[in-house]
Every structure is written in C-alpha cells, then in structure tokens.
A and B are shown apart, each in its own frame.
Chain A
Amino acid sequence: MWSFSHIANELHEWLSSIFNPTWTLVIEMVLAGVAVIGLFAALGLVLVLMERRVAAWIQIRLGPNRVGPQGLLQSLADTLKLIVKEGLTPSGADKLLFNVAPFIAMIVAMLLMAPIAFAKDFQLWDMNIGVLYVSAVSSIMVISILMAGWSSNNKYSLMGAMRSGAQIVSYELSAGLSILTIVVLTGSLQVSDIIHAQATGWWIFKGHLPVWIAFVTFIIAVTAETNRAPFDLAEAESELTAGFHTEYSGMKFALFFLAEYINVFIVCAIGATLFLGGWMPFHIGNWTQFNHVMDYIPSSIWFFGKTFFLIFLIMWFRWTFPRLRIDQLLNLEWKYLLPISMINLLLATAMAILGWHF
C-alpha cells in the first residue's frame, strides 16, 4: 500500500545501501529538515488563504477572489511582496536580539514538529516523553516574543511583549492540566502510545465528561498561547499598533506571521492527536463493515482532516469574539479555567482508576 511510512522506509533502505549508517542518518536529518521547511511554506500559504476566506464568509464578504482562479494565488502574491520589501532595523534597537528573535520563533515551531505523527508510523521522533516535550518547548515561544518586544526599543512593542508573557505563562497551566487528563487516561507520555490507546474509540468519545471539559479548556488555552484573537493582546492593533512586531518589516515580519500560523497548526495537531485520535480512523464499536470502509481512507487524510477541523474552530473563535481586556484575560485563567481544570483532572484520575471510561 502507498503510504508515507512506505516511502520513508524505501528511502531509508536505498540510502543505507549507498552510505554507511552515520551518513545515512545525517542525510535523513537534512531531508527531514527540508521537508519540514517545505511543509511550513505550504502551511503558511494555505492557512493565510483559509483564514482570509473564513473571515470573509463569517463577515458576509467574499474574501480574496482576484489573484488567480478563485483568489487561490493571493497568499503567494503577498509572500512575494513581503520578500521584496526591505527588512528595516531601527537605529535605537538592539541589533543582534532584534534580528535573532524571528528566527527563534521559527526554530521553536520547527522543534515542535518532531513528535507529531502525520500518518500511520510516520513521525520524525517518537520519544517516550513526547507530550511533555511539546509543552516544554512551546513555552520557549514566549522568549522570542519578549526578545522582539524588548530589542525593538519601542513602548508599544515592550507592552505587547509583556502582555504576551503574562498571558502565555498563565495559560500554559491550564493547557498542561488538560493535556495531563489524557496522559492520566492513557498512562503514557509517548505520542504513539496515546494514538494506539484510541484504536477502539477516540478519547473524546471514550472519556466522556472529563475529556469534554479538558478539550474545551485545551482549545481555549492554546488559542491564548498562540496569541490569537480573542486573546491577541500581544498584538492588539487598536491599542498597540502591532504589539511586539511593530518595528518589524519585510521578511522578518513574515517570519513572525508564519510562526503564528505554524503554531496554530501545531497546537491543533496536538489537540487532534490527544483528543481526536491522531491518524486513527473513526470506528464505531462492532460495525465491521463501516469500520472497514473507514480504514480505506488513508491515515494522513484523517490526521490532516482533524487538524484542519480544529484550525477552523480556532479561526471561527477569532472572527466571532471580541478581544479581552488584560484583567479579564487573567481572571478567565486564574478564576475559571485553572480551578475547573484542576477539579477536572481529579475527576479524570478517579475515572482512570475506577475504569469508568469505555
């Protein structure tokens, strides 16, 4: 059968027959890096277009429809514009930090790609602490934002960065707790174990109430962590010009912009893996016929379908809800999400011990 894992194995065997194991590993790493960068570029183009279309339809508009057929080349044209623009560095800025910050944002996004299972047996690195790794690395993201805000030497940038810091540090907690709910139910931090535990049914169906609450908390927390509306206080166009990336232009701005969309993709991929079964097809109990039909749909389509469903959900939030004020934002986390997810974790633990899930 034609699948990603098949291609990967063929490539590995072919490389092994030519080079010794060390060089094979080096070449495979380079190939993986190129593939990830390629995926980033493709995701950037697709997600920007998708966002603009979803936004337009929600606001009863048409969206981009002039460049190329149905406006499909719009984001390509925008990218071209950003590439040819000059990347200014303000004279009062801390030059090194200012120029390094966008790359840190991208590197964090690249690191987060490692434990994501894109299809059956197709994963860059299936480490035994996969989920912990994701929540640890994703908090490095705030460093790039703080760096950009501080080095710009601009009050708007600094305020945006500080807000972003407060926001990410707070929402990391409830995101972590909702991830823990699934870890408790599965009994493993390894991504492949979590996916295999959902072979008989996704956690969102098997785990009923506690997992539903955890799912809602997770979606709210990751929307805040990726700095997207209604939690986009770090940018807050109406108050802070553009927040932490006020001083950025050209390709350096594009990297921040791309990193935002890549992060949305990554958190949605993690959400799909934890709650919606990753690449696992949709199975209903004993309906063997139905299950067989579902198995025929390739695993990568399942994964991307679920991920894009969650991305749509986050875009839907963005174009429906107004932005929160900073005190409302912190109230929501510390007074509502955190207590609820703590009690929920207790409930999930009791459920896992007593075997109340299906």
Chain B
Amino acid sequence: MFIIKYIKEVYRGVKSLLVGMKRTLYYFTHHKEIITQQYPDNRDTLVMAERFKGEVVMPHNEKNEHRCTGCQACELACPNGTIKVVFKNELTPEGKKKKAIDKLVYHLELCTMCNLCVEACPSDAIKMAQTFEHSVFDRSELTKILNNPGSKIMDGVE
C-alpha cells in the first residue's frame, strides 16, 4: 500500500539521519580522539606511521662501509630516472681491477617515494627513511649523493 510505503520511507530516512548525528555527536564530545598533530610544537615527540616513506638513504656501518655493489637494479627499476649510478674502478688486493660505485646520485626532487628501487635492490643497500622536512632554498641541494665520501663496499657483499 502506498501509505505504508510512505511511512516506512519517512521512518528509514529519519533513522539514518539520527545514526549519522549520533556518530558526529560522539566525535564532538570525545576530544581524545582528535587526530590533529600540532606539528612544529611536538617535533620532538612526533611519531611517524611505520609505512611512511620520506626519502631514499643508504645505511653505512661504523667502518664507513655500505652494501651497494653497483648492480644498477635500482636505476633500472626507477620509473622517472631519480637514481644514477656512477662507477669507478678499484684495485683488489690481488691486483685485479674491480668495478665499484663512485657515487650513487639521488634526485629527491624527482622522487615519488614509490619504493620500487628498495624492492629491486638485491643486497638491501638502500632503504626508505622517515624524514620529511625536505624544504631547501636552492633546488640543487635536493640532488644528493647517497654513499658517504671515502666509503667502500662491505666485505662479503657481492
């Protein structure tokens, strides 16, 4: 019947509106659920989410050694040419020439934090850091060299 359908519609409409209002009233009265971070004030205690990706870094151990073999997998994996590997030739103790990285150039201004380079890396040489305060006054400062000066490859990493 028309009138029963009509009343049902009104009832359902009012009920769904009240459900929505109940939810917003809950948030209105429960201030401890507030998710706003007062950023510059809480800089020291700020905790980033685990999945947050800020920039690509290359970890070094205390002897200034990294794990990068210069295989170029990251350079190939990068969709927008953010990473460039520059090589140099090193002499091994036996007197043989060995290919090693001179610089791993990383363009932060081109990076989309897609994580493909980290996944492509066979020796876990690079990883994503959680830093996010990347503002600089000059664009050239965003072009970074990931390996420390004078660093060399860790023993046992091929």
Q: Do A and B bind each other?
A: yes
Q: Which residues of A contact B (CB under 8 A)?
A: 54, 57-62, 316-317, 319-321, 336, 340
- Chain B residues, Cβ within 8 Å of A60: 27, 33-36
Tell me, yes or no, whether B21 is within 8 Å of chain A by CB. Answer: yes
Tell me, yes or no, whether B31 is within 8 Å of chain A by CB. Answer: yes
Q: Which of B1-30 contact A (CB under 8 A)?
A: 10, 17, 20-21, 23-25, 27-28
Identify 26 residue pairs between A and B in the complex whose beta-carbon atoms are under 8 Å apart, listed by A's number: A54-B28, A57-B27, A57-B28, A57-B31, A57-B34, A58-B24, A58-B27, A60-B27, A60-B33, A60-B34, A60-B35, A60-B36, A61-B34, A61-B35, A61-B36, A62-B34, A62-B38, A316-B21, A316-B24, A316-B25, A317-B21, A320-B17, A320-B20, A320-B21, A320-B24, A336-B10
Looking at the assembled complex, report how far the CB atom of A104 sits from the nearest CB atom of chain B, in whole angstroms. 34
Residue ID in chain B nearest A62 by CB atoms: B36
Interface of B is mostly: helix
Tally chain B residues at the interface, Cβ within 8 Å.
Answer: 15
- Chain A residues, Cβ within 8 Å of B24: 58, 316, 319-320
Given A59-B27, A316-B25, CB of A321 within 8 Å of CB of B34:
no
Q: Which of B55-90 contact A (CB under 8 A)?
A: none
Query: In the bound complex, how far is the Cα of B21 from the Cα of A59, in angstroms?
Result: 12
Query: In the bound complex, how far is the Cα of B34 from the Cα of A61, in angstroms?
Result: 5
Looking at the assembled complex, report how far the CB atom of B42 sits from the nearest CB atom of chain A, in whole angstroms. 12
Query: In the bound complex, how far is the Cα of B10 from the Cα of A321, in angstroms?
Result: 16
- Chain A residues, Cβ within 8 Å of B17: 320-321
Query: In the bound complex, how far is the Cα of B17 from the Cα of A60, in angstroms?
Result: 19
B20 x A321 contact (CB < 8 A)? yes
Looking at the assembled complex, report how far the CB atom of A95 sits from the nearest CB atom of chain B, in whole angstroms. 43
Looking at the assembled complex, report how far the CB atom of B34 sits from the nearest CB atom of chain A, in whole angstroms. 5
Looking at the assembled complex, report how far the CB atom of A54 sits from the nearest CB atom of chain B, in whole angstroms. 7
Return the contact of A58 from the options B28, B35, B36, B38 (Cβ within 8 A): B28
Looking at the assembled complex, report how far the CB atom of B33 sits from the nearest CB atom of chain A, in whole angstroms. 5
Q: Which of B102-149 contact A (CB under 8 A)?
A: none
- Given contact pairs A60-B33, A320-B17, a sample of 16 additional A-B residue pairs in the complex whose CB atoms are under 8 Å apart: A57-B34, A58-B27, A60-B27, A60-B34, A60-B36, A61-B34, A61-B35, A62-B34, A62-B38, A316-B21, A316-B24, A316-B28, A317-B21, A320-B20, A336-B10, A340-B10
Query: In the bound complex, how far is the Cα of B29 from the Cα of A58, in angstroms?
Result: 8
- Chain A residues, Cβ within 8 Å of B33: 60
